[in-house]
Amino acid sequence: MATEPVAVPVVVFGRNQALADELRRDGIEHAFGWVDDMPGLMHACDVLIQNAGGLTSLEAFAAGLPVVSYRCIPGHGQTNAAALDEAGLAAWIRDPADLGPVLAELLHGARGQAQRAAGLELHRSVPGPIPAIAARTGHQLPTASPRWAVAHGPS
């Protein structure tokens, strides 16, 4: 992001002290360890850049924050990025050269407005975000019997 001055980075690193030291050496001013008020921090930001696509993305959608998947971790990170991208909920950036232009679109363009609306709509849907994401991509969720429905014989 230093070469693409489209946005000011705000980084949350949890308890990763090595990352904290590296960020501070690189001049990142807004670097936070464990954050007790993630919704408040998200409301202060304009875009979320994440690499796993999990609950943090759902929190961002609820806050009306556009989401970018970038440098995704193998496995669930890449799978989530593909699903969110296909659903139009998050941009999946695979080429570092695309980071600046996509951020600009999300900050100032129709793409950002569309993502904000789609993310907020997920939390208005009755069944919740998982079925809503599946519906936006045209995928069917597997049906399974709930654990409590398993018969245990006569009591």
Q: Which two three-digit tokens encode residue 13?
A: 């690193």
pLDDT at 69 over 90: yes
Mean pLDDT, all residues of the chain: 83
CB < 8 Å & 24+ apart, contacts of 76-85: 76/52, 77/51, 77/52, 77/53, 79/53, 80/52, 80/53, 80/54, 81/53, 83/53, 83/133, 83/137, 84/53, 84/57, 84/133
Q: What pLDDT digit, counting tens, does each position of 88-115 carry?
A: 899 999 999 999 999 999 999 999 999 9
pLDDT at 140 over 90: no
151 — pLDDT class (breaks 50, 70, 90) = very low
- Concatenating the DSSP letter of every residue in 105-139 gives HHHHSHHHHHHHHHHHHHTTSSS-HHHHHHHHHTP
Provide the pLDDT for residue 143: 58
Q: Which residues does 121 contact at the CB level (< 8 Å), separation at least 6? A: 132
Q: What's the whole-model pTM score?
A: 0.76
**Choice between 8 and 154, residue whose per-residue pLDDT is larger:** 8
